[in-house]
Structure 1
Amino acid sequence: MTTYDARFRVWRGDAEGGDLRDFTVEVHDGEVVLDIVHRLQATQAPDLAVRWNCKAGKCGSCSAEINGRPRLMCMTRMSVFDRTETVTITPLRAFPVVRDLVTDVSFNYEKARSVPAFVPPAGLAPGEYRMQQVDVERSQEFRKCIECFLCQDTCHVVRDHEENKPAFAGPRFLMRVAELDMHPLDAAEETGLDRKRTAQEEHGLGYCNITKCCTEVCPEGIKITDNALIPLKERAVDRKYDPLVWLGTRIRRRSASDPR
């Protein structure tokens, strides 16, 4: 087994402040950044705070910024770095620091609660739902999300502008709105809930300027921008400005309220 010593700079501190500390840590073949963080805890910094769980790229817990890029520590192999390179690990910048590499991501859970849930069709029990695969393929991709919040962290709308957070849900939850709006059985519109309108007016869809930075950092390879946000923007615009779409929604609404 080949081993070498790598230089690391790790952010240490809490909500009051902190700085980068230098460490030299042994690296073995095939290891990922999270392995090195664990060795650092075991040998030099036992009080280093880090959040992790599955170590398999499926729980999203070990999100951090590695050399300035939001990544999962358990999915970032040391082999991608030059052995002479100093690897810098810092907490997610868009969220408040709790301690060291652990951040307070409660912002995301608040936004999740603000998205209205799936509305089942009237008169159908859960076991009676029937859909063709072709009808669910568009939104099925979005169910791969592991809630790592890397897309939320890299989105400059919240990363660089704290004041936008109250009005902007972020790409992960706009993707959730898009998924529900594409769902072939979602009956939100029949109950008066217009997901396209809420995306625009309540979740800040207009703030997104489709830079695709969220797609670039997604560890599951979800095409957040192309397959969720852009189509949702198109439908929201059609809903508001296309006269034929506008008229069609009024006719459907009137027919639903008048069964004659």
Structure 2
Amino acid sequence: MADREVTLSIFRFDPEKDKEGRFVDYKVPTVEGMVVLDAVRYVQEKIDTTLAIRWNCKAARCGSCSAEINNRPALMCKTRIDTLGDRITVAPMRAFPVIRDLVTDVDENYRIMSKIPKFTVRKELMNPEAEGKKHQDVWRIQQINVERAKEFKKCIECFLCQDVCHVVREHKSGYFGPRHIVKAASLDMHPLDIVNRAKFLNEEGGLGYCNITKCCQEVCPEHIHITDNAIIPEKERAVDLQYDPLMHAIKRRLMKKRGETVA
């Protein structure tokens, strides 16, 4: 039995017919425990079967049903109707090209991911028997390092953090975006990895463009501390590679002795 009726204002776009998209209103009856994905599927099944949506698990594990609900990036399957008003807007993620209706093209994320240097270990770890060591011994790591990496592994690649990032969405600066900094950080923080990706992220990934607003962290459905535990540490690594405070202090003292202008 329906508890109440809500108006769902859904973005509609057909590339073969429309130059620009438009919002169309639909009346949807609700029941207890209903989420936005349920309401959108009701529209697709009962009212307009041409509506294009992307979803899979309906359990907040696949990241497929990302959208902007009342102008906030969120998973449709995790957003309850009873937490919203009587009028709900559902739009595609604005950071990515719209394929049709609520379906966006997120392929760029996988192209970026392919650029990030892969997990790399020392050669002797690949053949520990040659060094007279057991395989399980050389690959053993401390639990604290396991926990650090585990947080980043929770990412379901919903790309909501990419969508909410104003640098990715508006400035087209070449910044990889929070999802990919998390990926790189998960590799950099592995104790057996020998690659430092900070310089790559700074020069190729536009790491410096992030101004640490933490908006990506706020919308993450897995509650990953994206800014605190991934972006800021990578920024610190990038600065360490370019700036040595001890050498800078020595340089300033020598310049001062010579009477030169100290920056």
Note the alpha carbon deviations across 1:90-126, whole angstroms, 9 max, x for none: 0000000000000000111111111111002212239
Aligned counterparts of 1:122 and 1:137: Cα–Cα separation in 2: 25
Offset of residue 3 of structure 1: 2.0
Aligned counterparts of 1:122 and 1:158: Cα–Cα separation in 2: 37
- Unmatched runs of 5 consecutive residues or more in structure 1: 189-193, 247-260
Aligned counterparts of 2:60 and 2:155: Cα–Cα separation in 1: 11
Instruction: Please name the residue that 1:252 is paired with.
Output: none
Does structure 1 residue 172 correspond to structure 2 residue 179?
yes
**1:131-150 correspondence to structure 2 within 5 Å:** 131-150=141-160
Aligned counterparts of 1:33 and 1:144: Cα–Cα separation in 2: 23
Instruction: Please name the residue that 2:31 is paired with.
Output: 28
- The residue identity in structure 2 corresponding to 1:200 is N
Aligned counterparts of 1:18 and 1:171: Cα–Cα separation in 2: 28
User: What TM-score do you get using the length of structure 2 for normalisation?
Assistant: 0.85
Aligned counterparts of 2:8 and 2:162: Cα–Cα separation in 1: 25
Query: Which secondary structure does the structure 2 equivalent of 1:180 belong to?
Result: helix
Q: Identity of counterpart residues, as a percentage?
A: 54
Aligned counterparts of 2:241 and 2:78: Cα–Cα separation in 1: 41
Does structure 1 residue 183 correspond to structure 2 residue 183?
no
2:2–2:29: 8 Å Cα contact kept in structure 1? no
- The residue identity in structure 1 corresponding to 2:224 is I
- Unmatched runs of 5 consecutive residues or more in structure 2: 128-134, 249-263
Note the alpha carbon deviations across 1:180-231, whole angstroms, 9 max, x for none: 111101022xxxxx41110100111001000000000000000100111011
**1:154-169 correspondence to structure 2 within 5 Å:** 154-161=164-171, 163-164=172-173, 167-169=174-176
1:2 to 1:18, Cα distance in 2 relative to 1, 3 A: closer
**Which has the larger displacement, 35-44 or 95-104?**
35-44
Aligned counterparts of 2:184 and 2:114: Cα–Cα separation in 1: 12
- The residue identity in structure 2 corresponding to 1:225 is T
Does structure 1 residue 3 correspond to structure 2 residue 3?
yes
Aligned counterparts of 2:14 and 2:142: Cα–Cα separation in 1: 50
**1:109-120 correspondence to structure 2 within 5 Å:** 109-120=110-121
Offset of residue 243 of structure 1: 4.8
Instruction: Please name the residue that 1:18 is paired with.
Output: 21
Aligned counterparts of 2:50 and 2:167: Cα–Cα separation in 1: 33
1:239–1:245: 8 Å Cα contact kept in structure 2? no
User: What TM-score do you get using the length of structure 1 for normalisation?
Assistant: 0.86
Aligned counterparts of 1:66 and 1:3: Cα–Cα separation in 2: 21
Instruction: Please name the residue that 2:222 is paired with.
Output: 220
Matched residue count = 236
- The residue identity in structure 2 corresponding to 1:145 is C
- The residue identity in structure 1 corresponding to 2:147 is E
Offset of residue 151 of structure 1: 0.2
Aligned counterparts of 2:70 and 2:84: Cα–Cα separation in 1: 10
1:202 to 201, 204, 214: 204
Aligned counterparts of 1:14 and 1:181: Cα–Cα separation in 2: 43
Larger Rg: 2
Query: Which secondary structure does the structure 2 equivalent of 1:10 belong to?
Result: strand
Offset of residue 168 of structure 1: 1.3
RMSD, aligned α-carbons: 1.7
